[in-house]
Structures are given as C-alpha cells and as structure tokens.
Amino acid sequence: MVTAVRHLGPNWYASVMGTAALALGGAALGVDGLRELFVGVWALSLLQLVVLLSARALHWGRHCDQARAHLHDPAVAPFYGCLAMALLAVGGGALALGRDWIGEPAAVALDSVLFVAGTAVGLAAAVAVPYLLAVRHRVEPGQASPVWLLPLVAPMVSAALGPQLVPHLPAGQPRATLLYGCVALFGLSLLATLLMLTLVFGRLVTGGPLPLALTPTVFLVLGPLGQSTTAAGAFADLAPGAVPTPYAAGFGLLAVLYGVPVMGFALLWLALAAAHVTRAWRQGMRFAMTWWAFTFPVGTCVTGAAALGRHTGLTVYHWLAVGLYAVLVTGWLAAAAGTVRGLLSGELLAGPRPAPVAPRPVTVRTTSGAVR
C-alpha cells in the first residue's frame, strides 16, 4: 500500500468532485422518486473522499520527496485546487442530500467543517499556485493550460455552496456576514478567472490544440461559468431574511442579468470543447485521469441552468439542465469505468515510464573493440 500511493497525485480528488457533482446535479433537478439514488451517489463521494484523504496523508508521510516534487511541477500543482473543491462539494452534498441519511444536525456539522476546511485550502491554493507559477515554475505563455484555472475556481465553489448554511446561523450579523463573505469569494474567483482565461484562450488560438491526453481539460473552463451562475442563484435564494430587502431584490436581479448571458457563453464553450475532444478522439485519444474534466464542470452548468429555471420561470432552462445532466452522467460513466480499469491493471498508480535509452553510436573504435 505504501508503495502504491507514491505516485498518487492531487488530481485524484477530481474523481470525488465528479461523483459529488453527479449527486448535486441530480438534487438540483428535483426529480421525484430518484432522491434516494442521489443520496447513495453522495454517500459514494463521501467514501471516496475519506479513502483519498487517508491515501494522500500516507503519501505525504511516506513519500514527502514526491509530494514536494508535485508542488514544484507546474503541471501538477494546480490540482491542489481539486482538494478544496472535493471538500466543498461533499460538504454541500451533505446538507442537500446527506441529511436524509445522517440527519440534519449531523449534516449541518459535516457541511460546516468541510466548508471551512475547503474554503481555507481553496484560498491558500488561489494564492500559492499562481505565486509558484510566477517565481518557481518558470512557465512560458505557450504552456498555458485550462488546468491553471483549478485553484482559482475553488473560491467560487465556496461562494456557491456557502449560502445554504445561512439559514442555520443566528439571524442578523452572522447570516449577513456569511452571505457577503460568499459574495466576496464570488468576486475574487470571477476576476482572477477572467485574467487566467485570456491566457488559456490565447494558448488555444495561437498555440494549436492541446496534447491528446490534455484535451479533456478544455471542459474545465465550464467550471467557473456554471459555478458562478449557480452562486448568483444561491445568493438570490438565501438573501431574503439575511440582508435588507433592497439588497435581497438586487441579488434576484443579479441571478438573472448575470446568469443568462454567462450560461449562453457556457453553451458556446461546451460546443467548442466537444469539437476539440471529438478531434482528439479521432486522432487516438485514450483514457487518462483528465477524463474527470467531463464531470464536475458540466455538473456546475446543470446546477446553474436549474437556478436560472427557478429565477426566470422558463421551462427551457429546466430542459437544458436535464440535457446537461445526461452529458454529466455519460462523462461520469466513461471516467469511472476508465479509472476502475486503470486501478485493476495497476497502470494508474504506476510511476512514469523511464525514457528509452538511445543506442550507443557505432564507431570505428567500438566496432574494432567488438571484433577483438
């Protein structure tokens, strides 16, 4: 077991995020008769989180050199944002679904602990990873990747899931403080993401398609788009009773005036990402852990579309959420199947393959020596 976790990177938390998104997206649809199934999916995400936290603790304890190497690798360090989002997504699922199983008091306690921990880790990653990119990693503009968005999206997940704790706080200052704090996290993440997104889009346009194994990460751009729409809807849902009436009405306007155009852009990006993945598949793309990018980002668009359905009253957004959820289920099944196969074969936990050694050039000296 100790040897098996040596190469277990923070990117594995994406599998927890994907499973939690499957549960949260299903809950957002509000389909009668399927709630128990979604509770079971949430329980699976909780189990995944516990197992991965234990394995990663063992990784840091026994393979500290490899863990530090991950921090100094510009391709791996951004995945520390996945730890924060995994904590937050499972915590949010506890209050949305898990309360049916563990009871509301336990669900509130679990969500509170995971929300605080996830927000703290997310804020640390949002500062530390861009700092490392600037002063330690020495990356070039042509190396820009959608993966760089991961630590910056984590505070937006806090902004989207934090408001559901508002009713469980005392009325007055505590509720208003949490709600406005989530709004601050919304702005922090949104502005930082916009800055990074220009680099990512510029890389795609001027640098050509991503390598085949990284192509699914184009879907990561959907994360901040769908999650910010979800957050705006959550502010509107929970503002009444937490902030003065004029501000509560303003949050209702924000949910629609912000969410509608952003969801439109998300659909444009979904089509662009699908085109990139189709091209990569035709050129031989095969399973990699990056396939989990097909899950959580799409799940945020499901919850975002569902929020727009509530606040606009338009049926089209409900059916959009249903269609996106079908995409989410397909992506989750593909990623989960590939992960299980990779675990059973041992390929996913194996170390990187050593580069092939070039054959020694034949010279007069080596030829004559062989003859002797």
Q: Which long-range contacts (CB under 8 A, 24 or more apart) does 94-98 make?
A: 94/42, 94/46, 95/164, 95/165, 96/23, 96/24, 96/27, 96/42, 96/164, 97/23, 97/24, 97/27, 97/35, 97/38, 97/39, 97/42, 98/39, 98/42, 98/43, 98/46
At residue 355, the pLDDT reads: 44
pLDDT at 64: 79
In contact, 285 and 212? CB cutoff 8 Å: yes
Note whether 186 and 159 are within 8 A (CB): yes
Sign of CA dihedral 180, 252, 84, 263: negative
CB atoms within 10 A of CB 12: 24
**Rounded to whole angstroms, how far apart are CA atoms 132 and 219?**
24
CA 114/CA 83 separation, integer angstroms? 11
Provide the 8-state DSSP code for 210.
P
- Nearest Cα to Cα of residue 107 among 119, 121, 97, 118: 97
**Tens-digit pLDDT profile for the chain (372 aa)?**
556 677 788 899 999 999 999 999 999 998 878 999 999 999 999 999 999 999 888 877 777 777 777 777 878 889 999 999 999 999 999 999 999 999 999 999 999 999 999 999 999 999 999 998 888 767 776 778 899 999 999 999 999 999 999 999 999 999 999 999 999 999 999 999 999 999 899 888 888 889 999 999 999 999 999 999 999 999 999 999 899 999 999 999 999 999 999 999 999 999 999 999 999 999 999 999 999 999 999 999 999 999 999 999 999 999 999 999 999 999 999 999 999 999 988 888 776 555 444 455 544 444 444 444
Q: Is 359 helix (H, G, I), strand (E, B) or coil?
A: coil
- Residues 6 or more apart whose CB falls under 8 angstroms from that of 183 comprise 159, 235
Q: 177 to each of 163, 226, 252, 306, how far by Cα in Å?
A: 11, 24, 18, 26
Q: Do the Cβ atoms of 231 and 164 come closer than 8 Å?
A: no
The whole-number pLDDT of residue 4 equals 65
Q: Is the dihedral of CA 22, 23, 25, 26 positive or negative?
A: positive
Element (H, E) at 342: helix 315-345
**Secondary structure class of 51 (helix, strand, coil):** helix
Provide CB contacts within 8 A for 256, sequence distance 6+: 308, 311, 312
Delineate the domains of the chain, giving CATH numbers in brackets: 10-350 (1.50.10.150)
Backbone angles phi, psi at 113, to 5 degrees: -65, -45
> What's the sign of the alpha-carbon dihedral 122, 325, 213, 192?
negative
Q: What is the pTM of this model?
A: 0.91
Question: How far is the C-alpha of 293 from the C-alpha of 214, rounded, in Å?
Answer: 10
**Which phi and psi (to 5°) does residue 289 adopt?**
-60, -15
